[in-house]
C-alpha cells in the first residue's frame, strides 16, 4: 500500500522539489527515500513497543508536532542531505512538507482504522514477523 500511495504523490513531490531549488530528476529518489524513512520509523517504533505512538499518528488526524513525526522529518532531512546532496535548508523544507503528505495519504487510505491488518498492509510482509514480536512484548495488544 505504501508504495502505491507514494507513486500517487510524485507530481506533488516534483513541484515541492522545484519550489526548494532541487531538480525534478530527483523525484524518484526523494519519494523512495521518504517512503523508506516512514517505513523504517514505523517499524522501529513498533519493535521498541511503542504501538500507542504509532497508533496516535494514524488515528484522529495528523499532527506535525507529534514527537514521532518530528523524528521522521529529522531522519529524512539527514538522508536527503547525505544521499542526494541536497543542502540542509532545502532538505528540511522538503522533509517538512513530504512527511505530512505521506501521513495524510496513509490516514486517508486507512480511514481512521489502525490495527494489525492495516499495519501489515501499510509496511508489507515485514510486519507479520514484527507484529509477532511486538505481541509477545506487549501481551497481545493487537488481538
Instruction: Show pLDDT as tens, one digit a residue, over the chain (143 residues).
Output: 788 888 899 989 999 999 888 998 999 999 999 999 998 888 888 888 887 888 878 775 667 788 888 999 999 999 999 999 999 999 999 999 999 899 888 888 877 677 667 777 776 655 555 555 555 545 544 44
Residues in the chain: 143
Query: What is the sign, positive or negative, of the torsion defined by CA atoms of 105, 106, 112, 113?
Result: positive
Compute the distance between CA of residue 71 and CA of residue 1 in angstroms, rounded to an integer. 22
Q: Quick one: cell of 83? A: 544521499
Amino acid at each position: 500500500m505504501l508504495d502505491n500511495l507514494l507513486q500517487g504523490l510524485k507530481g506533488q513531490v516534483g513541484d515541492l522539489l522545484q519550489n526548494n531549488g532541487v531538480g525534478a530528476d530527483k523525484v524518484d529518489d526523494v519519494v523512495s527515500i521518504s517512503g523508506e524513512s516512514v517505513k523504517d520509523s514505523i517499524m522501529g517504533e513498533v519493535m521498541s513497543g511503542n504501538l500507542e505512538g504509532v497508533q496516535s499518528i494514524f488515528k484522529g488526524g495528523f499532527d506535525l508536532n507529534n514527537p514521532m513525526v518530528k523524528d521522521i522529518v529529522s531522519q529524512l532531512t539527514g538522508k536527503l542531505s547525505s544521499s542526494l546532496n541536497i543542502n540542509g535548508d532545502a532538505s528540511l523544507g522538503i522533509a517538512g512538507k513530504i512527511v505530512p503528505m505521506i501521513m495524510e495519504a496513509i490516514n486517508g487510505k486507512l480511514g481512521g482504522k489502525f490495527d494489525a491488518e492495516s499495519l501489515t498492509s501499510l509496511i508489507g510482509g515485514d510486519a507479520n514477523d514484527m507484529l509477532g514480536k511486538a505481541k509477545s512484548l506487549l501481551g497481545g495488544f493487537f488481538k
